[in-house]
Structure 1
Amino acid sequence: MSLAVKRVYDPPAPKDGYRVLVDRLWPRGLKKADAALDLWAKEVGPSRELREWFGHEPTRWEGFRHRYAGELDAVPESWQSLAEKARRHQVTLLFGARDEEHNNAVALKAYLESYLAAHGPH
């Protein structure tokens, strides 16, 4: 199992493996060709309401993670294929936020790792 997170603005690298943008909105000022994506998984990003509530406020981080997990629980079809891919391949979750510690890709990585640990190897 191998999951990583990286800013989508950082240059792609071979070690990134399968590159997935996990934001609902396209990152400002980034050309699609420069992103070097394998997939744009818009549907796995947090809802607009949750994004606006969070507002990248570190004091709301735990609440954001909990609410985002609830959203993910409701739509397993949006993320299960990423989890399965990460079982066998390197998957890098890409995000556009400036805060590299408090963003949906970091929360999603923890969520997917928890799912994979609970569901063992297939």
Structure 2
Amino acid sequence: MRRIYDPPEPDDGKRVLVDRLWPRGMSKVRAELFEWCIDVAPSPLLREWYGHDPAKLGEFAKRYRAELDDQEHVEALDSLRKLAHEGTVTLLTASKRDDISEATVLQQVLTGFA
């Protein structure tokens, strides 16, 4: 998991953006993405409610995990799981703090630490 604004690393594997919105100032060429997985991102309502407030992280994670069980997200999450089983996947986010982003929660879900 990394910020999309960080330069790509040789060991990134498949780079997957997991944000709903395209990152400001980032070109698609510079991003070097394998995939932009919009459908795995939190809903607009949840994202706006959370606002990356560290005090809300626990509740955000709980609500986001519940959303990941919704039909809207299941196929996208299954696709990410398949990619992860095939090799290295780097989840990318534009969040200023990736440690409190949806990518952190998603990484925990994908690795079984949810």
TM-score normalised by structure 2 residue count: 0.94
What is the DSSP-based 3-state SS (H/G/I as helix, E as strand, rest coil) of the residue aligned with 1:20? strand
Q: Which residue of 31, 39, 45 maps to 1:43?
A: 39
1:1-122 → structure 2 map (5 Å cutoff): 5-74=1-70, 75-114=73-112
Structure 1: stretches of 5+ with no match in the other structure: 116-122
Report the Cα distance in structure 2 between the residues aligned to 1:85 and 1:20, rounded to whole angstroms.
10
What is the DSSP-based 3-state SS (H/G/I as helix, E as strand, rest coil) of the residue aligned with 1:19? strand
Displacement over 2 Å in runs of 4+:
none
TM-score normalised by structure 1 residue count: 0.88
Percentage of pairs with the same residue: 45
Q: Number of aligned pairs?
A: 112
Equivalent position amino acid for 1:27 in 2: P
What do you get for the CA RMSD once the two structures are aligned? 1.4
Equivalent position amino acid for 1:84 in 2: K
Report the Cα distance in structure 2 between the residues aligned to 1:101 and 1:16, rounded to whole angstroms.
18
Q: Give 1:100 shift.
A: 2.1
Structure 2: stretches of 5+ with no match in the other structure: none
What is the DSSP-based 3-state SS (H/G/I as helix, E as strand, rest coil) of the residue aligned with 2:92? strand
